[in-house]
Amino acid sequence: GRLEAVTQQMGCHPQYLDSFLKMQHYLMHMDGPLPFDCRHYIAIMAAARHQCRYLVNLHVLQFLRAGGDPQWLRGLNFIPPKLRNLNEINKILAHRPWLITKEHIEKLLKISEWSWSLAELVHAVVLLAHCHALASFVFGCGCEQDEGPGGRGVLKPLSPGNQCFCEATTGNSCSQELLRINRKRSLDSCMELDSLRERMQRIHVEAEGREETRLLQQDQEEGERHEWRWVCRMGAQRGGAGGLSIGLPHLRLSPLADADGAVTSAANLACYMQDPDFGYQDFARRDEDQTQVFRVQDYSWEDHGFSLVNRLYSDIGHLLDEKFRMVDGLQSSTMAKRQGCEPSVFKRGIWNYIHCMFGIRYDDYDYAEVNQLLERVLKVYIKTVTCYPEKTNSEMFDRFWKQFKHSEKVHVNLLILEARMQAELLYALQAITQYMV
């Protein structure tokens, strides 16, 4: 029995893991406004903004399994204009979500034949925010580091014996939802390695066949010879590596190669980005020309965002809300006790500090508490993982809070994941609301 790295980390808090997997399964694999291949490509675009090879490789694999066109993996210049138009919102949400305006929303909804529907756009926004925040967790817990043999992204054997991920993380008892996911054999399920290899091989053959047919047709039409072809080989021949589906047995995603054998690996992320130098800048309010502070009293998840999301993308609001509440309810008494405060006070300090970095303020909170509750090394860690996770090095997770338990460190990263995701959603949903008004 083996567990993939993200599942291992989240498994420190099994109730949260259950909630996370239900939401992710619904978002990626259940009925919704967006086609399945587009969902995974949007996830690739989102993960590339933070140079997260782990998630890019995961969704490249799933994109091909969903029947996606291998040509799209050459980069943004090879995808339909409708998807490419999402790049601007992806860039802003990933780094400076306070810059999102109703004009951005209007542009996407009113571009003649390439226009998005409101339901599609909400689905896409939730996908982007989910993958941006998950990239923070991946880097924050070291899952991205050292994808080769012995790296932290490699699967580790469980003890005892053969268990599926839900058995290992919930005391050998699965929720009904996870059992249903297993029965559906979704990408978040526990499948036998041999069965998965066979399916990967079939996908490879089908993808290669489609591409060769397309090239032959193009040769006939244009009279040109094409010297390359796409090959996607899936298997475990090269040993263990990261880039896996949560809950899947371990496989390595082979690079894409041209006919001359030149590697054009999915890890070359520049093709999935435009304006790569655009990044996080400190939110500041110095004068009236600066971006206005986002006040939760005027637009909150509970009173506004939840109902809008649920209306346009059925049931996702309930799953997101459950996940937000679950992370807030995780036990952290030891962690808070060492900081000399109540658990709820400590968690709120972390949550509000993260939101503050994105310009979101709570009128009923005394921000002087942040400096009292959070020591400097913890604040540096939180800001790095939240705002530019790609700069997180392999030692940071081990170094910060050496006196704290591993599960407590993971808890901090779960707070970062959820607070960041909610911040991005608040800005995007407020802009959509303003457009609708």
Per-domain boundaries in the chain: 1-145+268-436
Catalytic center residues: 52
pLDDT for the residue numbered 105: 95
Confidence grade of residue 337 (pLDDT, cut at 50, 70, 90):
low
Burial 362-385 (b: 16+ CB within 10 A, else e): beebeeebbeebbeeebbebbbbb
Residue 234: per-residue pLDDT: 34
For residue 243, what pLDDT band results from cuts at 50, 70 and 90?
A: very low
pLDDT of 196 > 90? The answer is: no
pLDDT at 289: 47
Q: Predicted confidence band at 376 (pLDDT cuts at 50, 70, 90)?
A: confident
125-139, 149-163, 343-357: which is most confident: 125-139
Per-residue pLDDT averaged across 220-243, rounded?
A: 35
Angle of helix 118-140 versus helix 102-109 axis, rounded to 10 = 120
Per-residue pLDDT at 313: 93
pLDDT of 362 higher than 90: yes
pLDDT at position 176 is 43
Q: What is the mean pLDDT of residues 249-259?
A: 35
Task: Report the first-to-last Cα separation within the chain, whole angstroms.
Answer: 53
CA 259 to chain centre: 32
Strands 360-361 and 294-295: parallel
Give the amino acid at 335: M
Contacts of 83-87 with CB under 8 Å at 24 or more apart are: 83/38, 83/41, 83/42, 83/45, 85/111, 85/114, 85/116, 86/42, 86/45, 86/116, 86/124, 86/128, 87/45, 87/273, 87/274
Q: What percent of the chain has pLDDT over 70?
A: 67
Work out the pLDDT band at 154, boundaries 50, 70, 90: very low
Contact 324, 301 (CB under 8 A): yes
Mean pLDDT value of segment 359-382:
90
Section 45-65 average pLDDT: 95
> Residue 183: enclosing H or E segment and its boundaries?
helix 176-184
Integer Cα distance of 267 and 264 in angstroms: 8
- Tell me which residue of 99, 46, 86, 135 sits closest to 427, measured CA to CA: 99
Beta bridge partners of 263: 257
Q: Give how far the C-alpha of residue 178 lies from the chain's centroid of Cα atoms, to the nearest Å.
A: 20
pLDDT of residue 374: 87
Mean pLDDT of the chain: 76
Mean pLDDT to the nearest integer, 74-89 = 95
Q: How does DSSP classify residue 12?
A: T
Q: What is the pLDDT of residue 332?
A: 65
Rounded percentage of the chain residues whose pLDDT exceeds 90: 51
**Model pTM?**
0.75
> How open is the CA angle 175-176-181, to the nearest 5 degrees?
100
Average pLDDT over residues 184-208: 44
